[in-house]
Structure 1
Amino acid sequence: MKALVIVGHGSHLNGDSSQPVYDHASRIRGMSDLPDGGFDEVVECFWKEEPSMRHVMDTVESEEVYVVPAFISEGYFTQQVIPRELGLDGEVTHRDEKTIYYAGPLGAFKEMPDVILERINDLMHGKKTREGRTALVLLGHGTDLNKNSSGVIYLNAERIRKREIYDAVEVGFLDQEPEIGSVVRSIEAENVIVIPVFIAEGWHTRETIPEDLDLDGEVTVREGRTIFYGGPVGTHSSMALLIADRAAEAGRKHAVG
């Protein structure tokens, strides 16, 4: 038997923080054509909510367990907290007659640009753009304490840039340079698409970002420019398949023979 364990951060203050994990787990349970045969069990757990990741392995019956952190980038939680709480030795752990495969976070996975582009397609469906240039801005949280936090945003920007879909692909952050407001103000394009590379909705996506950018909603029309603001990448339905693919890759990476 095979199990998928999706690990989210969770929050005591924001009920929406855990919702994408539950949504994607539900979608995966309903998929009949998953890679490598799918999963017999799909389980959710969290750091700041119940069910707790510390006890999740006690609820899993399968001998093969694939753990996927629902995080965008490598950092303190993926490198220290999750391995500690789950008792992992590294990418592969053998314990209590189980083989546990630990996958990396989602943001650096090769399929993430496809999810970002699907989020953009949903945002732009039925909306009119101005004549002229169209620029994409990927928005990350950022932090001066962890370079990996910003690196994954730059990685996805470069991957999308190589596809030559937009006239420009830029990055901006909340807590480090380049600051998102200055990026959007300075970019030379008549149409600007802003996509938060976040896992869940929350205070930043609903309050601080729209306030900082002076947005009216999904579409903000200004003199000579229209700004399109999408929801977080992590809430898009296509993330479910990405999570399943991330797990399957972790297993194939360590397959014998």
Structure 2
Amino acid sequence: MRPGILIIGHGSRDRDWVALVDEAVRHAELPEGIPAEVVFLEIVEGRLIQDGIDRLEAKGVTDLFVIPFFVSGGSTHVDEIAYALGVKDAPSTDTDLLPFRVQARVWFGEPMDEDPIEMAEIAMERSRALLGGRKPEETVLMLVAHGSEHPLFYDRYVGGLLRVADRIQREMKYAAIDSALLLPEQLYDKIIRWQTETDYTVMVVPLFLSSGYFTNRVIPNRIGQAVCVYDGQALLPHPLVSSWLSRQVRQVMQRR
């Protein structure tokens, strides 16, 4: 067996977004002597998934350990990538992604919310910074994720948010931890409900990999005139994201 590591992100036209992903991988503790490629589903020319597969197989890689560098298993992209790599026989929803040319055996990892130890710690840290002088027991923490209108993927998003919320609440003891998806749109109505029915302060923490279009534009637009505390901080940059990558690589390599 000659192993290789393929870390797959979504991709962005924003060079800073790509740079944050690269930096997180650079600080991860990957096994020495094993070739690794950081690639993207779309947009980043020369660093697409097939490019990475080709480069690794050209080095003689026979076993490809794939890390889906995505926040949630609710992302349809994680499902379609698994299908296109031959991990599953059919996608769970329509996709334009064609099967990749891959000769190596593929071992597929899990996105961040499947076992969200590090993600919960980051969200907890972000929430502490937003608290200021407020008490957790007088505050509602609202976790926000992209979401999906497809029932299967909606349920996966919700399940991931619940796992994160459970870990945070064990330590922080907020008045409540709620969650809201952008698909379907839930954020404004949920903030308004807490605002009108209680005296709690609502703090909004986005569970997105990196700051960008959704954290800087979409979420503020969805918040609208609702009253809450929000600073737009995403998961990156944070050293615990690199810790998650290190742990996920170890776990997927142990499955062989």
Task: Pick the TM interval, shorter chain.
Answer: 0.7 to 0.9
- How many residue pairs match? The answer is 228
Residue in structure 2 matching 1:40, options 19, 34, 37? 34
SS at match of 1:210: helix
Q: In 2 relative to 1, CA 228–11 (structure 1 residues): closer, same or farther, beyond 3 Å?
A: closer
Q: Give the match for residue 154 of structure 1.
A: 162
- Superposition pairs of residues 162-177 of structure 1, within 5 angstroms: 162-176=170-184
Distance (Å, rounded) in 1 between the aligned partners of 2:148 and 2:17? 19
| Cα displacement string for residues 208-248 of structure 1 (whole angstroms, at most 9, x for unaligned residues) | 21233248xxxx9x6xxx61434122543311110121121
- Superposition pairs of residues 1-257 of structure 1, within 5 angstroms: 2-12=3-13, 14-28=14-28, 31=29, 37=31, 40-48=34-42, 49-50=44-45, 51-60=47-56, 61=59, 62=61, 64-74=63-73, 75-84=75-84, 87-89=85-87, 98-111=104-117, 112-121=119-128, 123-124=129-130, 128-130=132-134, 133-145=138-150, 146-147=153-154, 148-176=156-184, 179-187=186-194, 188=198, 190-214=200-224, 227-252=229-254, 254-255=255-256
Distance (Å, rounded) in 2 between the aligned partners of 1:237 and 1:39? 23
Unaligned runs of 5+ in 2: 89-101
| Cα displacement string for residues 41-91 of structure 1 (whole angstroms, at most 9, x for unaligned residues) | 33210111231101212222355542111112224321223541xx4445x
1:165 is displaced (CA, Å) by: 3.0
Give the structure with the higher percent helix: 2
1:206 is displaced (CA, Å) by: 0.4
Would you say the 8 A contact 1:6–1:68 is kept in 2? yes
For 1:245, the aligned partner's letter is R
Would you say the 8 A contact 2:142–2:202 is kept in 1? yes
Q: In 2 relative to 1, CA 149–5 (structure 1 residues): closer, same or farther, beyond 3 Å?
A: same
Unaligned runs of 5+ in 1: none
Flag as ranges the 4+ runs of structure 1 deviating above 6 A: none
Distance (Å, rounded) in 2 between the aligned partners of 1:56 and 1:139? 32
Q: TM-score, normalised by structure 2?
A: 0.75
1:251 is displaced (CA, Å) by: 2.0
Q: In 2 relative to 1, CA 193–19 (structure 1 residues): closer, same or farther, beyond 3 Å?
A: farther
For 1:41, the aligned partner's letter is P
SS at match of 2:239: coil
What RMSD, in angstroms, separates the aligned Cα atoms of the two structures? 2.9
Task: Answer with 189-198 or 239-248: which moved more.
Answer: 189-198
For 1:101, the aligned partner's letter is W
Would you say the 8 A contact 2:116–2:163 is kept in 1? no
SS at match of 2:7: strand
Q: In 2 relative to 1, CA 4–119 (structure 1 residues): closer, same or farther, beyond 3 Å?
A: farther
Q: In 2 relative to 1, CA 182–235 (structure 1 residues): closer, same or farther, beyond 3 Å?
A: farther
For 1:156, the aligned partner's letter is V
